[in-house]
Amino acid sequence: MKKPILFTIIAAFALAFVVYQSQSGPVQKITGEAYAFTNVNVIPMTSEKVLPDQTVVIKGRTITLVAPSKNVELGDDVIEINGEGKYLIPGLAEMHGHVPPTDPPPNAPRYMNMQYVENTLFLYTAAGITTVRGMLGWPNQLELKDKVRNGELIGPNLYLAGPSFNGNSISSPEEAVRKVTAQKEAGWDLLKIHPGLSREEYDAMAIAANDIGITFGGHIPSDVGLTHAIEMGQETIDHIDGYVAYLNSFDEDERKQKMNEIIQITKEKNVWIVPTQALWETILGSADFDAMQKYDELKYIPKNLVSGYNSWAKRKLDSPNTNIEKAKEHASLRRDLLSEMNRNGVKILLGTDAPQLYSVPGFSIHREFQHMKQADMTPYEILVSGTRNVGEYFNGKDTESFGVIQNGKRADLILVNKNPLENISNLKDHSGIMVAGRWMSVADINNRLAMIEESYKEED
Ligand SMILES: [Zn+2]
């Protein structure tokens, strides 16, 4: 039977209406105290996509809604942040950072006071770093973590490794086991491994740590070696440590194949890599020292710290052991390693070892981005290393979940002025940062940066 034409037209309209309704969804009214980023392009980092014209609602420390702006109506108590033409991305992480001691040792330099600790935390946050994995614990530092958590101090969410396991701090397997237990009980988040542990001490540490449920990461002690550390369950290998030494133990014609093999093992065992490429080129001696000594961001850290960097650099360049050609070869092998690891799906985490040599907290991530770019990482892959991967790494380690923009995630956000997926350097230009639901506009951030700069002009 032939349908009357009017019926067909009505049916078509009805269908169009249903489709329109399901796309637009019902309008939600936001009541009570909240923040809302409106008309913003959201880069949720769940996949490589941009959601245009969204409203993102935050209550307390948490994202409570991500929806098209036309479907959200804001109540009177909602503070609106206009995101038109801008991009909202999850906050970034410094996964190999340092937080200075709150109780400095007696021989510590004068600048190492509580003001310096607070400035350091602020510098991280000002760059959009909302999470720092502190890779060297100091006595009483865990209190600092609580002070940030309860809002007494502005700073990134802290996850702290305890005092380091190294050749000086550990003198027997028994001592290693005792200190693993003690650090777990004290509430440290992970164990930091430095060079100098014997294989027996390392194994005792690893077995005890795996047993009581605390992870360990950092360097690869030479007596342990890369493959053994991976077998024993080292969770993160920082500075790509141990890989070049491992590859150099083979003849040149075998190295390519060995590289592929070790990368596959790294991936299969779920080892995370924190490359810290920029810092390592400094340590190797292949970095551009003249350029580094002129970094503008050095004005935000104490002069004595900067002169310490500069005298280290002079000693490095004057040393008969420094061979620039060899250092450049080493650096290029590290670049190949990072490139191949990334291409093969090894999980990479953003880290710069701030505030080590010329890595000024916060600012140093932009230096590191350039090195990641040189290792063929796309802007999206670089962002993943500082956001989604970080959330995945901390999954189950924290009661809060973060690293992507989704309902229920911790409200760690950067309002970027231009699309960072087009150019990773666009991340330098932002309108403000939200850390665990606390909003800081770029004007507030710049004011405090100016105060920090001023305070270090006077210091001797
Ligand atoms: Zn470090």
Centre a 10 Å sphere on the Cβ of residue 206 and count the other Cβ atoms it contains.
Answer: 23
Within 166-302, residue ranges assigned H as helices are: 173-186, 199-212, 226-231, 243-248, 252-268, 277-284, 289-293
Q: Do 165 and 192 form a contact (C-beta atoms < 8 A)?
A: yes
Three-class SS state of 7: helix
Q: Do 160 and 394 form a contact (C-beta atoms < 8 A)?
A: no
Residue 257 alpha carbon to ligand 1 centre in Å: 30
pLDDT (tens digit, 9 = 90+) per residue, 71-113? 999 999 999 999 999 999 999 999 999 999 998 888 989 899 9
Q: Which amino acid, 348?
A: I
Distance CA 59, CA 112 (A): 36
Which letter, b or e, does each residue of 29-61 get, where b requires 16 or more Cβ atoms within 10 Å of its Cβ?
ebeeebbbbbbbbbbbbeeeeebeebbbbbbeb
DSSP for 378-426, please give it. Answer: -HHHHHHHHTHHHHHHHBTTBSS--SS--TTSB--EEEESS-TTT-GGG
Residue 449 pLDDT more than 70?
yes
pLDDT band, very low/low/confident/very high, at 19 (cuts 50, 70, 90):
very low
Residue 284 alpha carbon to ligand 1 centre in Å: 15
Number of Cα atoms under 13 Å in the Cβ half of residue 450? 6
Residue 277 alpha carbon to ligand 1 centre in Å: 12
Closest by CA to 215, choosing from 238, 197, 193, 199, is 193
Residue 408 alpha carbon to ligand 1 centre in Å: 32
pLDDT band, very low/low/confident/very high, at 11 (cuts 50, 70, 90):
low
pLDDT (tens digit, 9 = 90+) per residue, 241-274? 999 999 999 999 999 999 999 999 999 999 999 9
Percent of the chain residues topping a pLDDT of 70: 94
pLDDT at 21: 46
pLDDT (tens digit, 9 = 90+) per residue, 375-401? 999 999 999 999 999 999 999 998 899
Average pLDDT over residues 447-459: 92
pLDDT band, very low/low/confident/very high, at 287 (cuts 50, 70, 90):
very high
pLDDT at 140: 86
Average pLDDT over residues 218-231: 97
Q: Do 81 and 443 form a contact (C-beta atoms < 8 A)?
A: no
Say which range, 117-131, 136-150, 173-187, 424-438, has the weakest mean pLDDT.
136-150
pLDDT at 7: 62
Residue 190 alpha carbon to ligand 1 centre in Å: 14
pTM of the complete model: 0.93
Q: Which amino acid, 85?
A: G
Three-class SS state of 79: strand
Q: Do 131 and 90 form a contact (C-beta atoms < 8 A)?
A: no
Q: Do 218 and 135 form a contact (C-beta atoms < 8 A)?
A: yes
Residue 276 alpha carbon to ligand 1 centre in Å: 9
pLDDT at 458: 75
Distance CA 112, CA 101 (A): 8
pLDDT (tens digit, 9 = 90+) per residue, 351-360? 999 999 999 9
Determine if the peptide bond prior to 104 is cis (ω within 30°). no
Greatest alpha-carbon span in the chain: 96
Residue 134 alpha carbon to ligand 1 centre in Å: 8
Closest by CA to 169, choosing from 186, 193, 188, 189, is 193
Residue 219 alpha carbon to ligand 1 centre in Å: 9
Residue 20 pLDDT more than 60?
no
Residue 99 alpha carbon to ligand 1 centre in Å: 10
CA dihedral defined by 447, 450, 455, 460, rounded to 10 degrees? 170
Distances in Å between the alpha carbon of 411 and those of 87, 130, 131, 364? 15, 10, 12, 23
Residue 356 alpha carbon to ligand 1 centre in Å: 7
Residue 31 pLDDT more than 90?
yes
pLDDT at 139: 85
Higher pLDDT, 15 or 397: 397
Residue 135 alpha carbon to ligand 1 centre in Å: 6
Residue 84 alpha carbon to ligand 1 centre in Å: 39
Average pLDDT over residues 262-287: 97
Residue 15 pLDDT more than 70?
no
Residue 95 alpha carbon to ligand 1 centre in Å: 10
pLDDT at 105: 87
Residue 238 alpha carbon to ligand 1 centre in Å: 8
Residue 218 alpha carbon to ligand 1 centre in Å: 8
Average pLDDT over residues 159-170: 96
pLDDT (tens digit, 9 = 90+) per residue, 108-148? 898 999 999 999 999 999 999 999 999 999 988 999 999 99
Residues with CB under 5 A from ligand 1 (ion): 135, 353
Q: What is the mean pLDDT of the chain?
A: 94
Residue 23 pLDDT more than 60?
no
Residue 17 pLDDT more than 60?
no
Q: Do 89 and 45 form a contact (C-beta atoms < 8 A)?
A: yes
pLDDT (tens digit, 9 = 90+) per residue, 313-367? 999 999 999 999 999 999 999 999 999 999 999 999 999 999 999 999 999 999 9
Three-class SS state of 75: coil
pLDDT band, very low/low/confident/very high, at 3 (cuts 50, 70, 90):
low
Residue 29 alpha carbon to ligand 1 centre in Å: 47
E strand or H helix at 285: none
